[in-house]
Amino acid sequence: MGHSQKESVWGSCNLFSRKAILFSLTLLVFFNFHLKDTQAHPLSPPTELFAQDTPNDHGKSISLNWNLSPDDGKVEGGVLSYEILRSTGLQGVFEVVGSVPAGTKEFTDQDTALVNSHNYYYKSRAVAVTDSAVSEIFGPVTPSGQWFHTGKTSVFVATLLFCLIIIVAISYAKRGGKLYIRPLAGINAVDEAIGRATEMGQPILFVPGLGEAYEVATIAAFTILGRVARKTAEYQSRLIVPAYYPMVMVVSQEVVKSAYMDVGRPDIYNEKDIFFVTQEQFPYAAAVNGIMLRERPAANFYLGKFYAESLMLAETGFLAGSIQIAGTDEPIQIPFFVAACDYVLIGEELYAASAYLSRDPVQLGTLKGQDWNKLAIVILVGLGILTATLGFAWFINLFNVNI
């Protein structure tokens, strides 16, 4: 009935009126849509804000993530950035603690003001040119430190196993177990070099490198220095040790002094021959080069940590005609020593030389333990290649380290 009534009203209009009505309706629909598209509507906030204590750290850090605002990515009126606001109370004042650009979903609050075991509340605010929208509050979150870094479990297990193997080897050495170490050419040449210097009546130069006193290569160098000092004390030769760090000078003096006392010649120990030069790389190299040309040592020892100065030193020593023995665990510098020195201790040979010379059960056991560890690594690599080839990824994943 209604339908027929509408038809009758429509039917009663003439052709012109019908066209006018249709035109008006079209305009109305067009402008309605256009207005909907351009009119300012409120910016949508980010959602699902989540915050938690950052795992595997010493605390004082909160990790946050959120879902992007629906207006993120829009060219006009879209989100420009997200601000992260923090408060110590639900009703407290929220302060901006960080900002990330649009499209970013996460932030780590590492503000130094964060205190472990305190509660914090967070909000994330989407910021546009003229507008902003705040998410719901998330909290409380409490930063705390962890004693165990779960991402480094493999390192923990490996450290335990490595140490266990070395402890077993040391205890075996201490009980008097026979531990063979193959001879190292560079070390056998030490006595020869000192003997030559003594015959020529010229001093011996020992350069302990640019490493700090606590670095493994420097510690190994100290052991060899002890051996060299013992020989120079026996032969009454002069030993010169220019140090790069004051602490290296102090330790070198202690080592040389002990060696001279062991041999029973503390009277010929000269502390002034073991001196601090400078803590700057190239002035140090220039000074050592000068010593080589002025003091004319017959034997030069470069043992420890070396960097770009290695070739400068070895080349000058070579030109001065000295017999040269070098050793470092810096792989980049070894080629220069190989090119310019008579004998080179490559990498771990430096540590082995230290044990070989001292015959100390602890050092010998450590070296033996390291050999067993190397054997274990070779076996593990073989197993890893086999399992990877057969398509078992789990074995390789055991060695994951997530820092």
Partner 1 sequence: MPISTDIGVWVAVFFTLCIFSFLYKDNPFYKFAEHVAVGVSAGYWFVVLMKETLEPAVFLPLKQGRWNLVPGPFGIFLLILPVLIGLLLFFRFSKKYNYIARIPIALIYGIGAGPTLVQYLQNSVIRQIQPTMVKISFASWDSFSEVLIAVGVVCGLTYFFFSKEHRGTIGAVAKVGIWTLMIGFGATFGFTVMARVSLLIGRFVFLMRDWLGVIS
Q: How many CB atoms lie within 10 A of CB 257?
A: 15
**Upper half-sphere CA count for residue 61 (Cβ side, 13 Å):** 12
Q: Which is nearer to partner 1, 102 or 169 (CB)?
A: 169
Nearer to partner 1, 84 or 213 (CB): 213
Least distance from partner 1 to the Cβ atom of residue 255, Å: 10
Report the nearest approach of partner 1 to the CB of residue 224 (Å). 16
Q: Where are the beta strands (DSSP E) in 232-354?
A: 239-243, 274-276, 299-305, 323-328, 343-346
> What is the nearest approach in angstroms of partner 1 to the Cβ of residue 140?
20
Residue 20 or 160 having the CB closest to partner 1? 160
- Which CB, 23 or 392, lies closer to partner 1? 392
**What's the CA gap between 372 and 49, in Å, rounded?**
51
- In whole angstroms, what is the distance from residue 210 CA to residue 287 CA? 13
Instruction: Compare residues 94 and 306 and give the one whose CB is closer to partner 1.
Output: 306
Given the rule CB under 8 A, which residues bind partner 1?
115, 152, 154-155, 158-159, 162, 179-182, 212-216, 219, 247, 250-251, 254, 276-280, 282-284, 286-287, 289-290, 293-294, 311, 331-332, 334-336, 338-339, 346-349, 352, 367-368, 371, 374-375, 377-378, 380-382, 384-385, 387-389, 395-396, 399-401
Other beta carbons within 10 Å of 395: 14
Distance CA 85, CA 292 (A): 64
Decide whether 105 or 257 has the Cβ nearer to partner 1.
Answer: 257
CB of 144 to partner 1, least distance (A): 15
Contact 99, 144 (CB under 8 A): no
> In the block, which residue shows the tokens 């039917």?
11
| Strand 81-87, strand 95-101: pairing | antiparallel
CB of 154 to partner 1, least distance (A): 6
Q: What's the min distance (Å) between Cβ of 45 and partner 1?
A: 36
Q: Which is nearer to partner 1, 50 or 275 (CB)?
A: 275
Cβ(81)–Cβ(127) below 8 Å: yes
Sign of CA dihedral 376, 379, 381, 387: negative
Chain centroid to CA 1? 85
**What amino acid occupies position 378?**
V
* Nearest-approach distance from CB 215 to partner 1, in angstroms: 7
Are residues 317 and 340 in contact, defined by beta-carbon separation less than 8 angstroms?
yes
